[in-house]
Structure 1
Amino acid sequence: MKHLFFIHSHTLFLTSIGVVDYLNLPHKDVLFVYSRNYKTTIPTDIESVDISNQMEDTFYIMLSWSRRNFFYNKKIRDDLVSFFDDFVQEHTSGRAYRLYIPHLQHHAFQIMATNPRCDEIFFIQEGGRAMIPLQTGKISFLNAVYNKLILHNDSRVWKCSNWFPNEHTPYSRPVKAFAFDKDYFCDAPEQTILVKWPHIPISVSIDEQRPFFLLEGAVELGQVEGNLYNNAVKVLINEFAESKNYIKFHPAQKAEARHLILNMFKEKKCEVEELPMDIPFELIVVNFHNLKLYGFGTSLLFYGKSFGHHVVSRENLLMKSKRYRIYSKGLAKL
């Protein structure tokens, strides 16, 4: 039996390692499939392959509701089904396999799940913040119409905005999930199995007494206005900054935005050390205890809460933005 794990983030990587350890899987029977150009500096002897381009192509094949594009999209869809079926054949040598994925919303995951050699699928936790409206198998009326009239109830792919299957989807069996937070998948899985992240040493010295300010790329991702976000950061710093602090920026945050925020600490006459991007903060919450974590709605705060750290969210400061209220509707709150 081959075990295929789809990974595009540090969280998925660490959770996948936790699943491999929990199930005591022989590493020779495991394949890590990377996408979104994910790379890790964490050493592992598990075989890996990157299919970022094909995963991205699959993500876009059915974004259009236009019937005019149906035949064009069908050709692309058929080509991608063939690609993933050939991928399975190559990497499983024709054996049965089990599939470990974050959800069934992505068409690549649907194609892999409906391959005849797929013995069973499992969900693995990919983030820290539960997206509650997606934790269901219910398909909206519009998506159901699209699946029937446009896709003609295709046996390999379907359009949905939810994560779980139901009795009418091409993959229709109940799903078990692996998670490090028992509440992440709500009550949607048949069973949620808790796993532990590995303790991997990190090459950075941490003073556990300093506060950590954990930010997200909300402005760059269009979730909130820049001025409002910066004002909220200033309030956060004024309220919780101490003489020496750490800050963790989001990769999407630009140099200009980072410089502006770092100057807020200087204005308060506080020292601040920027944590390096190549050190996953997920490893910091695993390796240290009783950290003081401050921020708004980043998943890093939810990781901290899951691992017993002192967490304070001032997300209420961002709720003044209508744009942010729309974005955060249905998301779990701290």
Structure 2
Amino acid sequence: MKVGVPASASSSSKRQRCHILHKFSYSSIAPQVNQQLHREFSGMGIHSFEIIVGIDFGTTHSGVSWAANGASKTIRLINTWPDPQAQNASKEKVPSSISYQNGVPKNWGYVVGLNDESFRWVKILLEENHKYATTVAPVNTLLRKVEKTAQDVVSDYLKLIWDYTIDDIKKFHPEDTFDLRVILTVPAIWSAAAKDKTLRAAKSAGIPGRIKLVTEPEAAALATLKEKADENQLKVGDAFVVCDAGGGTVVGPKLRPGLDYLRRGGLCGSAFLDVAFIKHIETLVGATQYQDIKESNRKRMMKDFEFGIKRCFSGKNDPDFSVELIGVKDDPGSGIVDDTIVIKPLSSL
């Protein structure tokens, strides 16, 4: 979630005034980058028919939007990602996950099966200076098995995303000829080397050469600034703060119109909540028993956590949650009965 917060100082008391302006959905960055780029290109005198594509490649999930640089500039947010398990195939993001068979991509996104050996969180490895060797150890093991680098895997995933995007564009413009501009978001805290690897991976994926890298929180800040300025909710001199809490990184830039923005953050996104949850379950059932449970059943449990507990938890008067872990032994004293583990909020413990 992206939350925009303006802070302005009163001339009399010099106290800061803060309130929540807007909550961004996880899929907001790519469309907002498009809006910003529309303004830039218009200012450059570009009026030919072109399509601008925004790709938000995330650690856990990714999203894509596109728009024709015409009069209406209507943004098309792709929400029809392939998902054989979905009853309602309308999701703004697709998992940043890919599996291989005989060295070539097999499945990606929601199509990755519970029994597939799949890559997750591989984006983190594009930044060499990360400090989570233990967390991404399974990724490194799988890289050696398929004889690929993290950049190779990212490139393969982006190619699948890109091919699907082109097919989506052709549904609306089957006979048209157009130019393409691509905006790809990157974490603001990434090094120049990590950004260069992202760019190389995108080009290897067949994405056209005119690729613009935009930092995720900067895109969100610019979009919110424009939106709220149109609604007269900001005034000259206000400072603007956005917290970009993503799957891998969390960054909080402070922006003041006309000035550079400050940013602070780190690798502490929601993916590390998954790691903490796994450690909690291991402690609850015992590390040996947990490792003996089929991997597909453990993955199914993590789906319960990802799409249930993690998204529903509010921290205020939460009910008891539960996850299914097929194969775990009953332990009523620990809330484990019939392959179901009860997860109690901290306030009730």
For normalisation by structure 2, the TM-score amounts to 0.31
For normalisation by structure 1, the TM-score amounts to 0.32
